[in-house]
Structure 1
């Protein structure tokens, strides 16, 4: 039997393996790339609907057409389409005008019942864009709560306002062209705005995929976020996310001046991209790369000034309207301050205010709390045993701003999506948070509908805000845990330190001599 067994083994080894097709001449494989079908249970289960995970002996990174980037961008288009359909109910037209003239049909509180509300539609008339007016120059009067009359202007930062103006010009040109499909001008305007915002989100997804490096498939969570369906076209924030992620990509590619230009443009659309200079500052301070940071910061400041200065000089009152309104507005329904008020009956830090009176105490408290968050993040960045990654600190800073600020408009959550995916690529956890955040829209709309119209009481809405805030705090806690336990960080892999780091990637700690010992790394992970 021993001889037979030996003979059997010998014959097996002599069998010639035949491939069903000629083998490729180049059989290199990107084995270092993360394969979600093997490493993530959720992805493995989802992939079973299209044939299962990629084979263990497959060559990775050799697909000619359906590359990860193209698949992710295709998924983004699908979800942006769903986002458009979620808002389409609010651009329906009906014969509601004089003599049956067509008009926008928001009868029966359609915007809340259908949950299709978008700021884009009412702002077309409210900002006098329907008159062809130039933002910041055009003003109008609105009655105040006390009966006084206030002069109002465009309330958005300059780049967002100019984007609305440009979209209006395109919509009016489309409407004037008899050979193009017609419709209500406001509906055409919405579609023009949505098209530009969709392109901006595709840029966000593209930059996120490049920033993800070996974990390119993480960017699919940016493309397929439930928040895209609900809020992609709620407002104009996708402009800022495109510039913010583009700026981070330029930083990662070691192009500090371009990074500053893009962050400056983002700051001219929404202020939050300029906040990303903060994490870069403390990380460059720790690593002795302040010259590079200075180039980025000066480029951002110069770009912001180039965009804003002409409007500020020509139309100073219109330019200042954004800052005036943000100073005078009270606590937003989504803010923690309003949540406390709704459950306790608290009248707020400032009590009852007269019309036009700024909540100065609330402004000061929210500012001080955000400063405290910044100080805490800087302490972590400077003293953690291993230098934190750029995306980790950027997420902590933007999340801290939203949690402490008096305004958290629902679409602001889109700011967090690419940062969260790059900072904490745990797909099930991120998907759970995004789903919770997206679902806050449902009680919000029903609360706006009003109890008298079979809507929900305010506390149903604010209770979901609490759940959303706790989910964001949970993400912050997990990121802090991974900062202090870098071995649990899925992004760090072998030779990979920080894909978004740029000049910070693989950098040794080199803080300035004047930095006190208590603000230096506790334990150095580098050897001299």
Structure 2
């Protein structure tokens, strides 16, 4: 078996969840109990782990669509005599079905038919706060929205035929977008299963994650998770150019897939495989530039809008900075700001904190007794970004799901975190609903929402601590049981250490069983 080939292990090498995970063992009782010790594994002609995980993902995604469906309902307005979207009585918050996809159809002027980044409009026209606006998303995400809007409008045009179901363009737009986003998450599940090596059933956690049921269709982030997971899979299969292309495409949809180049660099430095990393990094950079350059060249102001608006944003409700402000009355690093004034100190502090966390991860990677796995470092870096950033939109938690499952495949802690993170949506929606009995607003005070955010952050920090613990105690790492090094490592899998910060601990991981990896 070639190292780094995530498909080449025989079925008999698989880790059986009902033997190793109490949660899976208990859940198997209604279906006949644990797998027998003499059962034949991997011989069923149809129900492979991949197909089962994809089926579970389809069921979870269907549930996710139904959680948003209440915000895609229509009603006939008797006053205006037209069909309208039913967002009466604060439906998005009362039904907890809010999705950015629905309001963005009109907010980004997709309903007007113009090309994003070229089309501009005036927000707050006629007011002192009037300002020019463009599409505010990265290039691939903006083009994704535009294509879906065109498909929706084309569907409406065809719906004059009696055999084609019709509806409001925004509803059709949401359904078309949800279809592609669901396919992207299925691709994420597929890539994680392939990366998991002898633990394919861990991908079931990605398939049934409560975060998917709540946030798969809150925004467009599954596009980036698919590219990031597929990029890691390409790296695992020793295809650095393809890995770079996929990470670059992902970075053109959301920036976070490019963060994965950092952990890859540190691990390649430790194994002295930097030339392979350079191939991936250069390809990723070239791909990102190739995707962005046409829009930058033709519509420079529109292209820059994403960066400009992110620089202007203050601390979002889900950020730790807002939590501190709410609980203490702190005015923030920048104090009261005027219209269109950038929170420059907050931007600098969040950036410096992230850089400091990355420096800590680098130290861990070079100081650990055995070279850490790619998934472990990647999870730490992305979690550090979310914890220190001024914006943690709720759907950003999807970024962590594939990395967490690959980094620390312990079912109970992972499902507990996912459930807690998903449930933050409830007090968030109730907070936005407002609290005013006189106006019929029966929401929750902001303290409930802030407390849920703190709990979520603490659980994520706890997972980070667990990952660091397993990095320094590799015998505790479930993935490395049985002499495995790093199924996602590619050229790093089984490569000897060439550079560490603690020479007394330098040793090769090649062929060592897990119980010998602990110093």
Coarse TM-score class (shorter-chain normalised): over 0.9
Aligned counterpart in structure 2 of residue 31 of structure 1, from 12, 33, 37: 12
Provide the C-alpha distance between the structure 1 equivalents of 2:400 and 2:167, rounded to a whole number of angstroms.
35
**Who is 2:173 aligned against?**
189
1:364-375 matches, cutoff 5 A: 364-375=348-359
Evaluate the alpha carbon distance shift between residue 85 and residue 371 of structure 1 in structure 2; reply closer, same or farther with a 3 A threshold.
same
Cα separation, 2, equivalents of 1:145 and 1:459: 36
- Which residue is 2:514 aligned to? none
User: Residue in 1 aligned with 2:132?
Assistant: 151
1:246 is aligned to 2:230: yes
Q: Is the 8 A contact 1:386 1:521 kept in 2?
A: no
How far, CA to CA, are the matches of 2:89 and 2:95 in structure 1?
A: 10
Q: CA deviation at 1:325?
A: 0.5
1:207 aligns with 2:195: no
Which one of 269, 272, 276 corresponds to residue 288 of structure 1? 272
Structure 2 residue matching 1:221: 3-state secondary structure: helix
1:67 to 37, 48, 51: 48
* Counterparts of 2:68 and 2:258, CA distance in 1: 30
Distance in 2, matches of 1:49 and 1:365, equals 52
Contact 1:385 1:521 in 2 (8 A): no
More off after superposition, 421-430 vs 173-182: 173-182
* Mapped contact 2:123–2:133 kept (Cα < 8 A): yes
CA contact (8 A) 2:211 2:418 kept: yes
Q: Deviations over 1:108-133 (max 9, x none)?
A: 00000000000000000000000111
Q: Does 1:441 align with 2:422?
A: no
Do structure 1's residue 173 and structure 2's residue 157 form an aligned pair? no
3-state DSSP class of the match of 1:102? strand
> Are the aligned partners of 1:29 and 1:59 in contact in 2 as well (CA < 8 Å)?
no
Aligned to 1:270: 254
> Which residue of the other structure, out of 114, 127, 133, is the alignment partner of 1:133?
114
The match for 1:333 is 317
1:418 equivalent to 2:406? Answer: no
Give 2:484's match in structure 1, choosing from 496, 502, 525: 496
Q: Which residue of 1 aligns with 2:411?
A: 427
Give, in whole Å, the separation in 1 of the partners of 2:347 and 2:126: 21
Match of 1:323 in 2: 307
- Quote the Cα distance in structure 2 between the aligned partners of 1:388 and 1:474: 18
Structure 2 gap segments, 5+ residues each: 1-8, 511-519
* CA deviation string 1:53-77 (max 9, x = no partner): 2211111111110011000000000
C-alpha displacement of 1:30: 3.0
1:230 maps to 2:214: yes
* Structure 1 equivalent of residue 459 of structure 2: 471
2:475–2:481 CA contact under 8 A, matched in 1:
no
Paired positions, count = 495
- The CA deviation string for residues 200-227 of structure 1, in whole angstroms up to 9 with x for no partner, is 0000000000000100000000000000
The alpha carbon displacement at 1:494 in A equals: 2.4
**278-287 or 30-39, which moves further after superposition?**
30-39
Partner Cα separation in structure 1 for residue 406 and residue 350 of structure 2: 27
Deviations 1:394-442 (A, max 9, x none): 0000000000000000000000000000000000000000000000000
- Verify the 8 A CA contact 2:427 2:448 in the aligned structure 1: yes
1: CA distance, partners of 2:182 / 2:216: 8
Partners of 2:443 and 2:306 in 1: CA distance: 32
CA–CA separation in structure 1 for the residues paired with 2:173 and 2:79:
23
Q: Retained in 1: the 8 A contact 2:495–2:509?
A: no
Q: 2:366 aligns with which of 379, 382, 385?
A: 382
**Root mean square deviation, CA, Å:** 1.5
- 1:318-369 CA distances to partner (integer Å, 9 max, x unpaired)? 0000000000000010000000001001000000000000000000000000
Q: Structure 1 unaligned segments of length 5 or more: list them.
A: 1-27, 512-516
Deviation at 1:387, TM superposition (A): 0.3
Verify the 8 A CA contact 2:370 2:509 in the aligned structure 1. Answer: no
Q: TM-score normalized by structure 1? A: 0.92
Distance change >3 Å, CA 199–CA 94, structure 1 → 2? same
CA distance in structure 2 between the partners assigned to 1:400 and 1:144 by the alignment: 39
Q: 2:345 aligns with which of 358, 361, 368?
A: 361
CA offset at residue 49 of structure 1?
Answer: 1.6
Q: 1:309 and 1:331 mapped to 2: Cα distance?
A: 30
Find out whether 1:523 has 2:511 as its counterpart: no
Residue 154 of structure 1: SS of its match in structure 2?
Answer: coil
For residue 97 of structure 1, report the CA deviation from its aligned partner. 6.4
Match of 1:47 in 2: 28
